[in-house]
Chains A and B, each alone.
Chain A
Amino acid sequence: MTWLGLYNYWIVVVLMMAGFYIVIAQGNLVKKIIGLNIFQTSAFIFFISLAWREDGTAPIVLPGVTAYANPLPHVLILTAIVVGVALTAMGLALVVRIHEAYGSIEEDDIHQQDEER
């Protein structure tokens, strides 16, 4: 039953697939971006759970403690969160621009208008 200790990865996979499904199947552009966000956070949780160790503490020096969580994934994810929000801002700006041009943020409407032209 040792494979039960892999549950952190399974939570990540479930979250990631939920985000993936929203990105594919959801027609509303704002909700698509939220799906992308959920996908992102699942990757964050993956890295942070890799850095965690049972016998360790947060990577800040404490007298008498030798085992710390791995600080390297923390730094990568710190960077990734900021980059992720930059990406989201860019995507939302495109949504606003699409709404200006088409008057809708529903994928179906936009495709329909494109075909009519």
Chain B
Amino acid sequence: MRIRNLLAVTMLTGIYSLIVAVLFVLLDAPDVALTEAAVGAGLMVILMLGTIALTTQEERRQSMRHNLLALVVVAITGAALIYATLDMPLFGDPEAPAHVHLSPRFTQESPDEIGIPNMVTSVLASYRGIDTLGEAVVVFAAAVGVLLVLGTGAVRGRGHGNRGRARREDQDEAP
């Protein structure tokens, strides 16, 4: 069964994000789960609904192409990744390198150093504050990018794209 209605696909994406958020709660990451539920299931779905409203809701038939080659590439990559996991620490192992090296420093000392009980917040806002600044820069750059790609639409009006292409064709034909 293949879903060709992009609206249904978008709804399923939202449900998928919510399930991932629940998984994050179960993995003791409530902050990440909140963000995933708000951003992944909320904002992402709104963006996709906007895109569908501006483009088309029905997918054309037979848009899957060269399936076999893609399948082979994916299978080889997947096998290589599975092979790579054989060296990894076991799931939930308290002796894993992630838990003996840096984690104690943050979990034991950050409540006293920063004074916030939530360690994720103290790392995000204090120890790794510059990262969060970088994140803000990325979001700003994306906003500027979206405005550059779409924002002139109101001035330009619809159908400009076709005229632009016609202009480019003229240039191609010129010597």
- In whole angstroms, how far apart are the Cα atoms of A76 and B81 in the complex? 22
A41 touches B117 (CB 8 A): no
Decide yes or no: A24 and B70 within 8 Å by CB, A5-B90, A108-B65 being known contacts.
yes
Chain B contact patch, size range:
35 or more
Q: Report which residue of A55, A90, A93 has the largest number of chain B beta carbons within 10 angstroms of its beta carbon.
A: A93
- Residues of B within 8 Å of A20, CB to CB, are 74, 77
Chain B interface, >50% SS class? helix
Residues of B within 8 A of A25 (CB): 64-67, 70-71
How many residue-residue contacts, CB under 8 A, span A and B? 259
Task: Give Cα A9 to B75, complex, Å.
Answer: 16
Residues of A within 8 A of B (CB): 2-3, 5-10, 13-14, 16-17, 20-21, 24-28, 30-31, 33-34, 37-38, 41, 44-45, 48-61, 67-79, 81-83, 85-90, 92-97, 99-102, 104-109, 117
Binding site for A on B (CB under 8 A): 6, 9-10, 13, 16-17, 20, 23-24, 27-32, 35-36, 39-40, 43-44, 47-48, 50-52, 54-56, 59-60, 63-67, 70-71, 73-75, 77-78, 81-82, 85-86, 88, 90-94, 96, 98-99, 102-103, 106-107, 110-111, 117-120, 123-124, 128, 131-132, 135, 138-139, 141-143, 145-146, 149-150, 153, 158, 160-162, 164-165, 169, 172
